[in-house]
Amino acid sequence: MIATIELKTKKVKIDLSKPLDISIPIQDGNKNVNAWYIDPPKITPERIDNDIVSVAEGAVVNFNSITFNPHSHGTHTETAGHITKEVHSINKHLKQFFFQAEVITVAPEKLGDDYVISKKQLQFAIGNKKREAIIIRTIPNTKDKKSRQYSNTNPTYLLEESAIHLREKGVKHLLIDLPSVDKEKDNGELLSHNAFWNTKGNLRLDATITEFIYVPNKVEDGHYMLNLQIAPFENDASPSKPILYKIIE
């Protein structure tokens, strides 16, 4: 099914029958991706009057309860409410869901004991392109990203200068295949979160950060339409399902 989308400067076509899913799902147990020092998610059938409500146990329906944290357990999209005293819900502030996006691949640079993504790297990868969303794939890009245990591993992160660069380019939606845009242990400074959302100026409540994506190697760098889907949680963050569609020129 071909759909036509009208952009500011032209109309483009996308094939809705060929979605490219770049989300990591939440699953029960230790094989789930994890960060931030908490237990894995749990998906378990409820007990009612000592009966397990599961078809496998003789019930007529499956009736599972799910315990998880969106920041720790899979692809999630967050608003500035993640780091502000005032409550800002992702469900209230993300009101549009299709965006022009650019997929870029970056080899993190060594900086002391860390691996980082620098402003220079983003400038090289994005150039003069004007995009509403930037999707960052880091290399090496192996499938174990979908089940990696990140706690106490000091993962790659974005330098503050990089987040400022994206903000100044007008990027509203930043997606990355890491647990955070910031250093795992940074004494609570959260430099890139603060810079991207501009917490020292006009707070960008219409901007989002999506972490824990996985961009398969078959997805080439370049221009796409992004459908950023979230679950309707009234919370600073929600599990999300970003879908890419290749643009038919």
Q: For 214-230, what is each residue's pLDDT tens digit?
A: 999 999 999 999 999 99
| Cβ burial, residue 110 (10 Å; 0-12/13-18/19+) | exposed
Give the pLDDT confidence of 143-187 residue by residue, as tens digits: 999 999 999 999 999 999 999 999 999 999 999 999 999 999 999
| Cβ burial, residue 165 (10 Å; 0-12/13-18/19+) | buried
pLDDT of residue 111 exceeding 90? yes
**What torsion, rounded to 10 degrees, do the Cα atoms 150, 173, 224, 148 define?**
10
pLDDT at 245: 98
Give the pLDDT confidence of 30-58 residue by residue, as tens digits: 999 999 999 999 999 999 999 999 999 99
Considering only residues 4 and 103, tell me which one the structure prediction assigns the higher pLDDT: 103
**What torsion, rounded to 10 degrees, do the Cα atoms 12, 18, 23, 27 define?**
160
Tokens of 72: 């720790």
CATH, domain range 2-24+70-248: 3.50.30.50
Q: Where are the alpha helices (DSSP H) in 51-189?
A: 90-93, 119-126, 160-168
Q: Residue 9 gets which letter from DSSP? A: S
pLDDT at 92: 97
Question: Mean pLDDT across the stretch 116-134?
Answer: 97
Q: Are 109 and 121 in contact (CB under 8 A)?
A: yes
pLDDT at 143: 96
pLDDT at 20: 98
Q: What is the CA radius of gyration of the chain?
A: 19
Of 230, 231, 209, residue with least CA distance to 81 = 209
pLDDT of residue 9 exceeding 80? no
Model confidence at 10, in pLDDT bands (50, 70, 90)? Answer: confident
**Mean of the per-residue pLDDT values for the chain?**
96
Question: Mean pLDDT across the stretch 71-76?
Answer: 98
Considering only residues 38 and 7, tell me which one the structure prediction assigns the higher pLDDT: 38
Question: Mean pLDDT across the stretch 123-151?
Answer: 97
Where is 102: in which H helix or E strand?
strand 98-106
Tokens of 197: 């959302």
Q: Are 43 and 36 in contact (CB under 8 A)?
A: no
Q: Does the model's pTM come out above 0.85?
A: yes
